[in-house]
Chain A
Amino acid sequence: EVQLVESGGGLVQPGGSLRLSCAASGFTFSGYWMSWVRQAPGKGLERVANIRKDGSEKYYVDSVKGRFTISRDNAENSLFLQMNSLRAEDTAVYYCARLDWNAFDIWGQGTKVTVSS
């Protein structure tokens, strides 16, 4: 079964850091671009970052540039999002998603991040 399972979310103070992980199974992880998509409470979806199959290209939404870093470990079938200098507006459910045919075709169940003092 193709599956993505996120972990690492939680409550963090403004200015703090969190590292999200996404464990992939059921497909050849190294053969796909991957992405993080977030959804703030009561709001729509927002693509946060995506990474090429081999990790050589990374793209970010403007609001997280310089604060978030996407990475992957193809040997461990894992995707990561290092989030630094967190702000209240980063509060959201963060989804790991597989990219195929220029679309987000497989989604995880999400991990919740709350930035609050």
Chain B
Amino acid sequence: QTVVTQEPSFSVSPGGTVTLTCGLSSGSVSTSYYPSWYQQTPGQAPRTLIYTTDTRSYGVPDRFSGSILGKKAALTITGAQADDESDYYCALYMGSGTWVFGGGTKLTVL
């Protein structure tokens, strides 16, 4: 069974840049997986940040960007702010009406 992998945790300094990744236990992530990214703070519903690899959802600041880096999808936050401290999830479309989420990355801004 394919597992979608993410770093369990990451830390960034205010104003810094961080890149979170989304990989596969077997194989490489490509645009054909339509990678998407979601931000979630405790007790809140997820918020969609990025879809189809690199398209920002409506209202998402341009300091959030998506890409493919090597064999993984990536979410880069440039100029991190305190309120970026959240859990970040990626999702990959596996075909046949199936999506799989990664386990999430807890981002700390300090």
B is a partner of A: yes
Residues of A whose CB lies within 8 Å of any CB of B are 35, 37, 44-47, 50, 57, 59, 61, 95, 100-110
Q: B52 within 8 Å of A by Cβ?
A: yes
In the bound complex, what is the Cα–Cα distance between A45 and B47 (angstroms)?
12
Q: Sorted from nearest, which 9 A-B pairs have the closest CB atoms?
A: A59-B97, A103-B51, A102-B34, A103-B36, A45-B101, A107-B45, A44-B104, A47-B99, A102-B93
Question: With A103-B34, A103-B51, A104-B36 given, is the CB distance from A44 to B100 under 8 Å?
Answer: no
Q: Judging by beta carbons under 8 Å apart, are B51 and A59 in contact?
A: no
Q: Is the interface of B mostly helix, strand, loop or mixed?
A: strand
A45-B89, A50-B97, A104-B38 given; 8 more Cβ-contact pairs under 8 Å:
A37-B101, A44-B89, A44-B102, A101-B34, A101-B51, A104-B91, A107-B47, A108-B45
Residues of B whose CB lies within 8 Å of any CB of A are 34, 36, 38, 40, 45-48, 51-52, 55, 57, 89, 91, 93, 96-104
Q: Judging by beta carbons under 8 Å apart, are A103 and B91 in contact?
A: yes
Pick 7 A–B contacts, CB within 8 A, sort by A.
Answer: A44-B89, A47-B100, A59-B97, A100-B51, A104-B46, A104-B91, A107-B46
- Please, which residue of chain B has its CB at the minimum distance from the CB of A47? B99
Q: B102 to chain A: closest CB distance in Å?
A: 7
**Chain A residues, CB < 8 A from B45:** 95, 107-110
One of A35, A46, A104 near B48 (C-beta < 8 A) = A104
- Please, which residue of chain A has its CB at the minimum distance from the CB of B93? A102
Question: With A44-B101, A45-B104, A59-B96 given, is the CB distance from A105 to B34 under 8 Å?
Answer: no
